[in-house]
Amino acid sequence: MPAEARAAGSTYSHLRTAKKAKEDEFYTQLSDIEKELRHYRKHFKGKVVYCNCDDPRVSNFFHYFSHNFEKLGLKRLIATCYKNQSVDLFSQNDADQAVWLEYEGDKDGDRLPGRDEIEVRPLAGDGDFRSAESVELLKQADIVVTNPPFSLFREYVGQLLEHDKKFLILGNQNAVTYQEIFPLLRDDKMWLGYQNGQMEFQVPDHYEPRATRYWEDETGQKWRSFGNMCWFTNLDISKRHEDLLLYKTYDPEQYPAYDNYDAIEVAKTVDIPMDYDGVMGVPITFLHKYSADQFDIVGIAKAPLGEPSKIYPKQTQISATGAKSTVSKLNDGPAMKVDSPPTDKTYYEVDGELYIQLFARVLIQRKDAAS
């Protein structure tokens, strides 16, 4: 399964067949966990933490919380392990046995979790985070911290919200444009954490090599990296209350308006004008710097989430090489009218007018302007 566990497959043979199974198993480095978790220590005192996608043999989430149990003041630590990951955990477990672990802190004074201090118990099912047993454990938790299956991210977040849980989880930046996820960001029910961007993950041996962002280290361990990883959380952090320093002033020549959304284009977060009262379209990376005290997120310019002011009929797409095709792609996001064909760039023609399309844009407005 993903990140720290395998919850996506229904059978072991399916999970072992790389060509058939989703590549969803990425093991988070302890250094990445430590860099992020240091900002949240005040949230954990007296809390029950649940890592429901975690094999303790390889999960650095379990390692972090068990080794910092007293320092964080935790009440209890729970982890569930998907079957086929539980080989020789702290005793002779069957390879097909899913287990759950419970740790309630140091009992012998050495400040490190010993085998006799960690309760390892069998699960009747497969340990999938959606199973009845895992949900019952979820109900006991205060905060969930893990790296869930990328392919099941929507469902995973939905489950957390259904059970009204606090969480800190890893996901791909593209998730911010999901129909199920963006409204949570817009309505301040979820936001991004601190350490977003490039991350490197260990992956299983059966993963096929890739041309880019893949390598093997000197021990033969396989790795993959992603440049667009994000921490998603609903734990309040100081970052979301730190205003961006704005210094640019609005100039209509520098900030053209979209043709199909009532907003101006701001190509970089650093270029947000300090004196524009209307709606602005900014890159989704703006969410890394978003202050809920400074801006309102009013929407997104991306189909089918956004509501454009116009819909274009069938258009002719002209590629950078001059190839032409009839498409409807111009309706997928923000469009801008241009006077002449751009150089070395795809553009569109509709009824004699020329357009270019931009990537998805988050639509924001300054809070003082909105009020």
What's residue 109's pLDDT? 60
pLDDT at 56 (0 to 100): 63
Give the C-alpha distances (Å, rounded to integers) separating 154 from 1, 157, 160, 194, 288: 15, 5, 10, 21, 20
User: What topology does CATH give the domain 12-239?
Assistant: Rossmann fold (3.40.50)
pLDDT value of position 113 = 62
Does pLDDT of 6 surpass 50?
Answer: no
Please report the pLDDT score of residue 333 as a whole number. 95
What tens digit of pLDDT does each residue of 11-53 get? Answer: 333 333 333 346 667 889 999 999 999 999 999 999 999 998 8
Locate tokens 């959380």: which residue?
233
Structure confidence at residue 93 (pLDDT)? 45
In this prediction, residue 120 carries a pLDDT of 81
| Peptide bond preceding 304 in cis form (omega within 30 of 0) | yes
Q: Is the pLDDT of residue 145 over 70?
A: yes
Mean pLDDT on 181-189: 97
Residue 112: per-residue pLDDT: 61
* pLDDT at 214 > cutoff 90: no
State residue 127's pLDDT score.
Answer: 82
What's the chain's average pLDDT? 87
What are the tens digits of pLDDT across the range 78-112? 998 776 544 444 444 445 678 888 899 876 666 66
Buried b (16+ CB within 10 A) or exposed e, 198-235: ebbbbbeeebeeeeeeeeeeeeeebbbebebbbbbbbb
Mean pLDDT of 162-172: 97
Q: What is the model's pLDDT at position 115? A: 58
* C-alpha span between 112 and 116 (Å, rounded): 11
**What are the residue boundaries of the structural domains of the chain, listed by start?**
12-239, 243-371
List the single range of 119-123, 127-131, 236-240, 355-359 with lowest mean pLDDT. 119-123
Lowest mean pLDDT among 125-134, 152-161, 277-286, 341-350: 125-134
pLDDT digits (tens, 9 = 90+) for 320-335: 999 999 999 999 999 9
The reported pTM is: 0.88
Q: Biggest alpha carbon distance in the chain?
A: 79
User: Does position 62 have pLDDT exceeding 60, yes or no?
Assistant: yes
Contacts of 356 (CB under 8 A, 6+ apart): 335, 336, 338, 342, 345, 346, 347, 348
pLDDT at residue 13 in the model: 33
User: Residue 121: which pLDDT band, with cuts at 50, 70 and 90?
Assistant: confident
Question: What pLDDT, on a 0 to 100 scale, did the predictor assign at position 369?
Answer: 84
pLDDT in tens, 284-317: 999 999 999 999 999 999 999 988 999 999 999 9
- Which DSSP string corresponds to 138-205? HHH-SEEEE---GGGHHHHHHHHHHTT-EEEEEEEGGGGGSTTTHHHHHTTS-EE-S--EEEEEEE-T
Which pLDDT value is given to residue 207?
A: 83
